[in-house]
Amino acid sequence: MSHNGTPVIQVRGVTRELPLGKTVVNALRGVDLDVQRGELVSIVGPSGSGKSTLLGLIGGLDTPTHGTVAIDGVDISRMSEDRLTEIRNEKIGFIFQFFNLMPTLTALENVALPIQFARKRKFKPDKRARELLEQLGMGDRLNHRPSELSGGQQQRVAIARALANDPPLLLADEPTGNLDQESGLMVIEALKQIRQQSNTTIVIVTHDRHLADQTDRVIELIDGRIA
């Protein structure tokens, strides 16, 4: 795994203050973090420690109160929403705990969707979607809708969708949180396989110590700071 050049993720002095009624909660308190290309990293910590807040900032879903977040050398912390949408579509793949698949679309259509929205289209949508689903062992489920798939199968469709535009960065928020142990293991194996084949950088927020133990590096957050 080469760790040369600019880190894929550079977080510098990041704080995030969230208003809660008349008080302000400091969700993050001065976080510095580098993640190199091709790393598989997990972020762990108790509930309320700031894990999902940090992942949201890295993914450009939220803006830091102070500090900067750069993805692939580009500072995203003060970007316009339009430009952020482009960056998310081209550079970041998201995997969520609750899959977030479109219920009316088939597995193939769900995976092809981000390619159809890409400004610079790198792939033929259906061809790319089919290849990714086959790679993740879902070749016999291309025309099934989410309601016809198990949790583990839905999560593999969601992983394929996250990879649709070949992003350099994959962000996963509790990807095994809604799955039984066996399905969870399949998801872990799928993520490790992706990293080996494509040198994609993967950051996982998880409560699952078994999943965290299989990553290159475990980052622990406690009270909004890296422990």
Residue 11: inside a domain: no
**CB of 206 within 8 A of CB of 42?**
yes
Q: Does 208 reside within a domain?
A: yes
Query: Is 95 contained in some domain?
Result: yes
Residue 172's domain spans which residues? Answer: 39-56+80-226
Give the H/E segment covering residue 40. Answer: strand 40-44
- If we measure between CA atoms, which residue out of 9, 63, 3, 1 comes closest to residue 203? 9
How much is the average pLDDT of 45-62?
A: 90
Q: Is residue 183 part of a domain?
A: yes
Q: Is pLDDT at 161 greater than 70 in this prediction? A: yes
Give residue-wise pLDDT tens across range 194-213.
888 888 899 999 988 888 99
Is residue 4's pLDDT more than 70? no
* Residue with more model confidence, 137 or 148: 148
Buried b (16+ CB within 10 A) or exposed e, 39-55: bbbbbbbeeebbbbbbb
Q: Is the pLDDT of residue 3 over 60?
A: no
Whether residue 61 lies inside any domain: the answer is no
pLDDT of residue 127: 93
Note whether residue 89 is domain-resident.
yes
What is the structure's pLDDT at 157?
94
**Considering the entire predicted model, what is its pTM?**
0.87
Note the pLDDT tens digit of each residue in 122-146: 888 889 999 999 888 888 989 999 9
51 belongs to a structural domain: yes
Residue 171: what pLDDT? 94
Q: Could you tell me the two tokens for 39?
A: 């790393």
pLDDT value, residue 36:
93
Q: Is residue 29 part of a domain?
A: no
Residue 52 has pLDDT above 60, yes or no: yes
Instruction: Give, in degrees to the nearest 5, the angle at Cα 141 between 137 and 181.
Output: 55
Look at residue 1 in the predicted model and tell me its pLDDT. 41
In this prediction, residue 59 carries a pLDDT of: 93
At residue 2, the pLDDT reads: 43
The string of pLDDT tens digits covering residues 79-125 is 898 888 888 877 888 888 888 899 999 999 999 988 887 777 888 88
- What mean pLDDT is reported for the chain? 88
Percentage of the chain surpassing pLDDT 70?
98
- The CATH number that applies at residue 179 is 3.40.50.300
Q: Which contacts of 120-126 are long-range, i.e. CB under 8 A and separated by 24 or more positions?
A: 120/90, 122/165, 122/166, 123/164, 123/165, 123/166
Domains of the chain: total: 1
Between 108 and 192, the more confident residue is 108
What is the pLDDT, as a whole number, of residue 217? Answer: 94
